[in-house]
Amino acid sequence: MRRKKKVFRVFGTLLALVFAIVFIYPTIVTLANSFMSSTEISSHYGKVFTSDDENSQWWNQKPDKDTTYKNDKVKIRIIPDKVTLSQFAGVLFKSPEYLFKFWNSMKLTMPILIFQILVALGASYSFARFKGRIKEMIFFLYIILMLMPYQVTLVPNFMVANWMGTINTYWSIILPGVFSPFSVFLLTKYMRRIPSSFVEAAKIDGAGEWKIFSRIYIPLCKGAIVSVAILVFIDYWNMVEQPLIMLSDTDKHPLSVFLAQINQGEVGLAFAVASIYIIPCILLFLYSEEYLVEGIAYSGGLKG
């Protein structure tokens, strides 16, 4: 019996290890490759992007393409031939546009993050504290909205932005982002877990709604708030569709869009840019993993 258990554990650990390797592999590849020189990268991966390079739209067709040297073999390398920071140097010092886009990403994501959480806190408090048929219906509406792919809300968003004259400004992305129902859903789920005894106790102490909200709910929700914030941050940090549609001025595009596009052209720098782009996420992750796990755990624990 015991032996069986041991075998099982070893086997399980191995299985988990395999999964873990598969899971972490792309991240490692990205990070490791950022320490290669651009030439090494293009000799490793050049071939991959040659046929994809053919976005030969009619306005930039060139009769003869220059045939630069590309290695025939594609090798995913983890260990660079020579560790160099040249990619990073290239990104940081020679191509300020990357930093510019990084800052654009910040400018887009941060307001959404902060205001979405603030707005959602109020709404989810309302959903969690007060119940009623209409509330349920509204909550259901939120869920429906949350589940809609961006493409469905694309036209409404676009129309509103156009109507408000915010097209090609960050407002066209920030405003709908602030009112996204996703965090309302998660926070509500969490807040409904808070035992009503807490509230009752506070009420007896003569606390008003605002006090209950700010003194009881918010502190208790800290974990959930952090975990929702991380999710929201990652979601908007990676946005691609919204800027493409709303921001015609490519100078305003965030790094995510830019990154998706340089993949084709400048593979050499792409990994370094991608690594830089991961940093805020890693940071968030490292600082708040405990909260995140806790938050995720609680929010999932109870029915909606």
Site for other proteins (CB under 8 A): which residue of 6, 7, 39, 76? 76
**291 and 47 in contact (C-beta within 8 Å)?**
no
Q: With CB under 8 A, what is the number of residues at the site for other proteins?
A: 134
Site for other proteins (CB under 8 A): which residue of 2, 3, 4, 23? 23
According to CB under 8 A, which residues from 196 to 235 bind other proteins? 209, 213, 234
Least CB distance to other proteins at residue 102 (A)? 5
Least CB distance to other proteins at residue 198 (A)? 17
List the one residue out of 45, 1, 21 whose CA is nearest residue 265: 45
> What distance in Å separates the CA atoms of residue 91 and residue 256, rounded to the nearest whole number?
15
According to CB under 8 A, which residues from 117 to 176 bind other proteins? 119-120, 122-123, 125-127, 129-130, 132, 135, 138, 140-160, 162, 167, 175-176
**253 and 243 in contact (C-beta within 8 Å)?**
yes
- Is 268 a binding residue for other proteins by CB under 8 A? The answer is no
> What distance in Å separates the CA atoms of residue 278 and residue 275, rounded to the nearest whole number?
5
Site for other proteins (CB under 8 A): which residue of 36, 184, 224, 226? 184
3-state secondary structure 228-274: HHHHHHHHHHCCCHHHHHHCCCHHHCCHHHHHHHHHHHCHHHHHHHH
According to CB under 8 A, which residues from 273 to 302 bind other proteins? 274-287, 289, 292-293, 296-302
- Is 191 a binding residue for other proteins by CB under 8 A? The answer is no
- Is 238 a binding residue for other proteins by CB under 8 A? The answer is yes
Residues 6 or more apart in contact with residue 15 via CB below 8 angstroms: none
List the one residue out of 143, 155, 172, 165 whose CA is nearest residue 239: 172
Least CB distance to other proteins at residue 200 (A)? 14
